[in-house]
Amino acid sequence: VGRLWDAARSGRLPHALLFEGRAGIGKFLAARYLAAGMLCARGPADPCGACGPCRRLASGGERGNHPDLLLIDEDLAGEEQIRIARITPRPEDPNYVPELCLEVFLALHPMEGKLRVVIVREAQRMNAAAQSALLKTLEEPRSGTLLVLETDRTAALLPTILSRCVRIRFDPLSRAQCEQVLRAEGVPEEAARRLARIAEGSPGRAQELARNGTLAVLEGISAAARGLRPALEVAAELWEIEGEFTGRTEGMRARERARAILDAVLALARDAWRLAAGAREDDLALGPLARPVAERSTAHELARRGRFLAAARADVERNLQPTHLVERALLVLAEGVLPAAAGVRSGTSPGFVAGREVR
Ligand SMILES: [Zn+2]
């Protein structure tokens, strides 16, 4: 950010930047901090915190309350798209709000000083029409404007958008830095240490894992994977673990929880496979938990189970019953019991055939 302010002071700051890197590592915060330093009356530099623009930015919570800064970060919970009416005027669209529209905003003169800044958070959520509309703005940049796109999925953006942005790559934090952030947020020491490890350098991801109860989930599934507890008993208990899940309906929240559980199962299986294939325990997010799982099996067998777990994870999006998917995943992880094909289910068996693949 300091180097970008340097560039701005010598008139070399590009009109469009892309902040790219893993989710939860501070790209949006950095974009906001960059904007604050650009809008500060004493900038471009570290925001002084005392001038009018700095005070207005600090007054409105995370969104700030500054007439020259527009954040496009609505509807972050769930999988809402950023639609074309947020990018270009669409008076016939009932969701169109001129004050929230990127083109309208950038066309106005700065209210306070020199610059209008737009930050598009999770820019990968722009649908195709919105991206095409944004391209027009990128092709004809106005002076006195700065556009910062933030994304953890660069591949979801049009190549023509990428080629018109200066791309800035963000790396994850170290385990120690991540732990420090978590402790500053009030996470107890032991939990911070374990979360920092499994979140692989992303404090945002670690906070999400803390919210959805992943530490307790991992304890349950690793006990099942080591044969210490019956898989189906653990599968039932996972639904009782305290956790926050987003979604408008009960069904959506259940699917969200199933995603989190299956992600944890997959991560454990993946690290067990890596260990069995010769990886160092210390390099792996779930190394200590995965070790006993790896010791009960071969790399080949773990890879085979991993394929079925990945399929179960994908089935969450196909509206299969979440409790059934979690049971299936636990049985596969713990016992290598594989699901029968649809239509072969019978009797009281939940549709599994021990030890062999059924197509
Ligand atoms: Zn200031």
* 162-201 pLDDT per residue, tens: 999 999 999 999 999 999 999 998 889 999 999 999 998 8
Smallest Cα–Cα separation from 31: which of 121, 127, 123? 121
- Measured CA to CA, the distance from residue 304 to residue 289 in angstroms comes to 20
Query: What pLDDT shows up at residue 353?
Result: 43
- Measured CA to CA, the distance from residue 82 to residue 102 in angstroms comes to 12
- In the reported structure, the alpha carbon of residue 59 is separated from the centroid of ligand 1 by a whole-number distance in angstroms of 13
Give the side-chain half-sphere CA count within 13 A for 70: 26
- In the reported structure, the alpha carbon of residue 39 is separated from the centroid of ligand 1 by a whole-number distance in angstroms of 7
- In the reported structure, the alpha carbon of residue 136 is separated from the centroid of ligand 1 by a whole-number distance in angstroms of 32
- In the reported structure, the alpha carbon of residue 7 is separated from the centroid of ligand 1 by a whole-number distance in angstroms of 18
Q: What is the 3-state secondary structure (H, E, C) of 119-137?
A: EECCHHHECHHHHHHHHHH
- In the reported structure, the alpha carbon of residue 184 is separated from the centroid of ligand 1 by a whole-number distance in angstroms of 25
- In the reported structure, the alpha carbon of residue 40 is separated from the centroid of ligand 1 by a whole-number distance in angstroms of 4
| Highest-pLDDT range among 27-31, 69-73, 313-317 | 27-31
Separate counts of helices (H) and strands (E) for the chain: 15, 7
- Strands 338-339 and 352-353, how do they pair? antiparallel
Calculate mean pLDDT across residues 111-127: 89
Mean pLDDT, the chain, as a whole number? 87
Cβ(148)–Cβ(39) below 8 Å: no
pLDDT > 90 in the chain, percent: 62
Residue 359's pLDDT band (boundaries 50, 70, 90)? very low
Tokens of 102: 């990127």
Top pLDDT among 283 and 354 is at 283
DSSP letter at 88 equals S
- In the reported structure, the alpha carbon of residue 41 is separated from the centroid of ligand 1 by a whole-number distance in angstroms of 5
- In the reported structure, the alpha carbon of residue 97 is separated from the centroid of ligand 1 by a whole-number distance in angstroms of 29
Query: What pLDDT shows up at residue 235?
Result: 94
Query: What pLDDT shows up at residue 357?
Result: 41
pLDDT, tens digit (0-9, with 9 covering 90-100), for 224-240: 999 999 999 999 999 99
Query: What pLDDT shows up at residue 114?
Result: 80
Calculate mean pLDDT across residues 260-284: 93
Query: What pLDDT shows up at residue 349?
Result: 36
DSSP letter at 148 equals E
- In the reported structure, the alpha carbon of residue 194 is separated from the centroid of ligand 1 by a whole-number distance in angstroms of 38
Top pLDDT among 34 and 114 is at 34
- In the reported structure, the alpha carbon of residue 121 is separated from the centroid of ligand 1 by a whole-number distance in angstroms of 24
Cβ(241)–Cβ(274) below 8 Å: no
Query: What pLDDT shows up at residue 224?
Result: 94
Smallest Cα–Cα separation from 295: which of 273, 310, 265? 273
- Strands 116-120 and 69-72, how do they pair? parallel
Backbone dihedral region for residue 149 (phi beyond 0: left; psi -120 to 50: alpha; all else: beta): beta
Residue 77 has pLDDT above 60, yes or no: no
Residue 63 has pLDDT above 70, yes or no: no
Distance of CA 100 to the CA centre of its chain: 24
Calculate mean pLDDT across residues 92-114: 86
- In the reported structure, the alpha carbon of residue 10 is separated from the centroid of ligand 1 by a whole-number distance in angstroms of 19
pLDDT, tens digit (0-9, with 9 covering 90-100), for 317-328: 888 899 999 999
- In the reported structure, the alpha carbon of residue 55 is separated from the centroid of ligand 1 by a whole-number distance in angstroms of 7
Contacts of 71 (CB under 8 A, 6+ apart): 32, 63, 64, 118, 119, 121
- In the reported structure, the alpha carbon of residue 32 is separated from the centroid of ligand 1 by a whole-number distance in angstroms of 14
Residue 244 has pLDDT above 50, yes or no: yes
Q: Coil, strand, or helix at residue 353?
A: strand
pLDDT, tens digit (0-9, with 9 covering 90-100), for 278-314: 999 988 989 889 999 999 989 999 999 999 999 888 8
Calculate mean pLDDT across residues 94-109: 88
Residue 73 has pLDDT above 70, yes or no: yes
Calculate mean pLDDT across residues 123-152: 93
From residue 65, alpha-carbon distances to 52, 76, 266, 323, 352 in Å are: 11, 19, 42, 44, 57
- In the reported structure, the alpha carbon of residue 57 is separated from the centroid of ligand 1 by a whole-number distance in angstroms of 9
Query: What pLDDT shows up at residue 249?
Result: 86
- In the reported structure, the alpha carbon of residue 346 is separated from the centroid of ligand 1 by a whole-number distance in angstroms of 70
- In the reported structure, the alpha carbon of residue 73 is separated from the centroid of ligand 1 by a whole-number distance in angstroms of 24
Q: Sheet containing 116-120: which strands, arranged edge to edge?
A: 69-72, 116-120, 145-151, 16-20, 166-169
Query: What pLDDT shows up at residue 316?
Result: 87
Per residue in 320-334, is it b (16+ CB within 10 Å) or e — as a string?
bebebbbbbbbbbbb
- In the reported structure, the alpha carbon of residue 54 is separated from the centroid of ligand 1 by a whole-number distance in angstroms of 4
- In the reported structure, the alpha carbon of residue 105 is separated from the centroid of ligand 1 by a whole-number distance in angstroms of 22
- Measured CA to CA, the distance from residue 210 to residue 193 in angstroms comes to 12
Residue 62's pLDDT band (boundaries 50, 70, 90)? low
Residue 94's pLDDT band (boundaries 50, 70, 90)? confident
- Measured CA to CA, the distance from residue 324 to residue 155 in angstroms comes to 33
Phi, psi (degrees; rounded to nearest 5) at 265: -60, -45
